[in-house]
Amino acid sequence: MKPLLIAGNWKSNKGIAEAKEWVRQFNAKCQMLNAKWDHITVVLCVPFTLVYPLKREISQLRLPVQLGAQDVSPFGEGAYTGEVSATQIKELADWVIIGHSERRKYFGETDEVLMQKVAQAKAAGLKIIFCVPDDKTPIPADVDVAAYEPVWAIGTGYADTPENAATVIATLKQKFSIRQVLYGGSVTAENVVSFVAQPAIDGVLPGGASLDAAKFFDLLTAAQSIP
């Protein structure tokens, strides 16, 4: 079976009570169906405020889910008001998303600042999911996993075709010597198989479909079915 990485991105959604309810529902599904994701690494990338409460819930229930942040400071610890450093994240989570198109668009993040973020995350031992909107945007050398997320497919319900996503991902792999690349943009339980069945695609990065525990569970179950 092909190893897959499936990382849910909650973006700026949910308070603590809602996050706990998500875990309760997800756990109930896992128990009921005796679910195991043998070849799928499951990651939830959540707002900073939810990392600690979710870490507690997930470890208490021994859920096979790893945690990630959605951003990281380009600086180390120090006088950088409002920022969360990579070492602070690493105390609670193993993963971080860097370069999401929403950060590039709404927060003006440049390739240069993203390089600094990657350097900080790498030095702290975080695993990085680096997002790019196309096969022309550079991927820094230290990145573990990249994600191809065409801007027009994010949150629109119009996913890229699996064939085109696979072509872009194959180009990214060749150009930037990166081994693992995900697809993101309107991925659902209904279309996930068409993406992960493509040999070049190593997993998916769902946003909306990760917010609902049952939908996310169904997405994992569907992905698990590929040979």
Is there a contact between 129 and 203 (Cβ–Cβ < 8 Å)? Answer: no
Contacts of 207 (CB under 8 A, 6+ apart): 8, 9, 10, 11, 154, 155, 184
Report the nearest approach of ligand 13P to the CB of residue 4 (Å).
16
Backbone angles phi, psi at 136, to 5 degrees: -105, -20
- Residues 69-108, interacting with ligand 13P (CB under 6 A): 100
Indicate whether 184 belongs to the interface with ligand 13P (CB under 6 A): yes
Q: Confirm whether 39 is a catalytic residue.
A: no
Q: Confirm whether 149 is a catalytic residue.
A: yes
Q: Which is nearer to ligand 13P, 187 or 196 (CB)?
A: 187
Indicate whether 186 belongs to the interface with ligand 13P (CB under 6 A): yes
Instruction: Among 4, 5, 6, 9, indicate the residue that binds ligand 13P (CB under 6 A).
Output: 9
- HSE-up (13 A, CA, CB side) for residue 36: 3
Q: In the 8-state DSSP scheme, what is residue 101?
A: H
Q: How far is CA 22 from CA 10, 25, 53, 111, 208, in A?
A: 11, 5, 12, 34, 14
Closest by alpha carbon to 118, among 92, 146, 91? 146
Instruction: Among 74, 99, 203, 207, indicate the residue that binds ligand 13P (CB under 6 A).
Output: 207
Report the nearest approach of ligand 13P to the CB of residue 78 (Å).
29
Q: Which is nearer to ligand 13P, 58 or 192 (CB)?
A: 192
- Residues 143-182, interacting with ligand 13P (CB under 6 A): 149, 154-155
Catalytic residue among 57, 102, 109, 149: 149
Q: Which is nearer to ligand 13P, 123 or 214 (CB)?
A: 214
Distance of CA 113 to the CA centre of its chain: 20
Where do contacts with ligand 13P occur on this chain (CB under 6 A)? 9, 100, 149, 154-155, 184-187, 205-209
Active site residues: 100, 149
